[in-house]
Amino acid sequence: MTDTKNNLVAIEHNPTRCNECSVRRLALFHGVPEAQLNWTQTYRKAQFTVEARKEVYRESEPGEFMFTVYHGWLAVFKTLDNGKRQILRIALPGDMLGFQSNLEAPMTHSVISLTDAVLCAFPSNKIPELLRNDMNVARRLTELNARDMNICQSRLMTIGKQSAIERIAFFCCELFYRVKSIYKDEASDSIFFPLSQEDIGDATGLTKIHVNRTLRSMREQGLMEIHAKTLKVHDVEALCELGNFSPQSIQTYRLY
């Protein structure tokens, strides 16, 4: 068994500082006054890079850090007893990884990078102190967790009650609107989309063959297509209606 710690490489020269962070409006320190960002900086242990398709941490093993995604796409997943994988959510820039109700317990899930990524690491044993000392951070943590729970609950409902094409429509709509919100790109009908058909299947409870057949049908119907790591949506309203997806479900990036 490989050691996941070996997959994380610390940035030694000129790591991004909190007051320079391009994703802070999406992340845990959104709402912290500029004057206090030097204080929040003291809680960050390091900024790490991780190559694509590498585990960041593994279920049932001790968790040393909570992470903020600075760059890249990652999958949060659980491994079933039969060895199959269920992707719980996709983490994008600004999202948190590694936070759970008992920070001293083994991790309840695993995380793997889908692309090369950059992560800001905060020691788990320092998180309670951080939350006690700044209510802005505690409130933001609540908002981000509520958003993630809402997305997971909605996608669980699609897996249990909807057809294959409806599941994939919901999943792709979710990522389409999240990426557009992150990069403030309202005009484009395309986003970077590094997920494989196997990844899509693990997120929607479908086999790779079923995903392939369904994606071909969606392309033929003029709804969307995935090609060369790009998701192109031809009819976003029809896709949202098909997947019963509401763009409001991912809007937690409040300005305060």
Q: At 27, which CATH number? A: 2.60.120.10
The reply to whether 153 falls in a domain is no
pLDDT in tens, 17-44: 998 999 998 999 988 888 888 888 999 9
Residue range 121-142, pLDDT digits in tens: 999 999 999 999 998 899 999 9
Q: Looking at the structure, tell me whether residues 142 and 205 fall in a common domain.
A: no
Instruction: At 31, list the tokens.
Output: 């709402």
Query: What distance in Å separates the CA atoms of residue 24 and residue 253, rounded to the nearest whole number?
Result: 10
Examine the domain organization and report whether 167 and 94 are in the same domain: no
* 190 within a domain of the structure (yes/no): yes
Q: What is the CATH number of the domain that holds 205?
A: 1.10.10.10
Query: Do both 111 and 181 map to the same domain?
Result: no
Token readout for 10 is 């610390």
Domain that holds residue 198: 162-250
25 occurs within a structural domain: yes
Count of domains for the chain: 2
pTM strictly above 0.85: yes
Confirm whether 14 is domain-assigned. yes
**Which contiguous run of DSSP H or E holds residue 179?**
helix 164-183
User: What type of residue is 182?
Assistant: I
Is residue 103, in this structure, part of any structural domain at all? yes
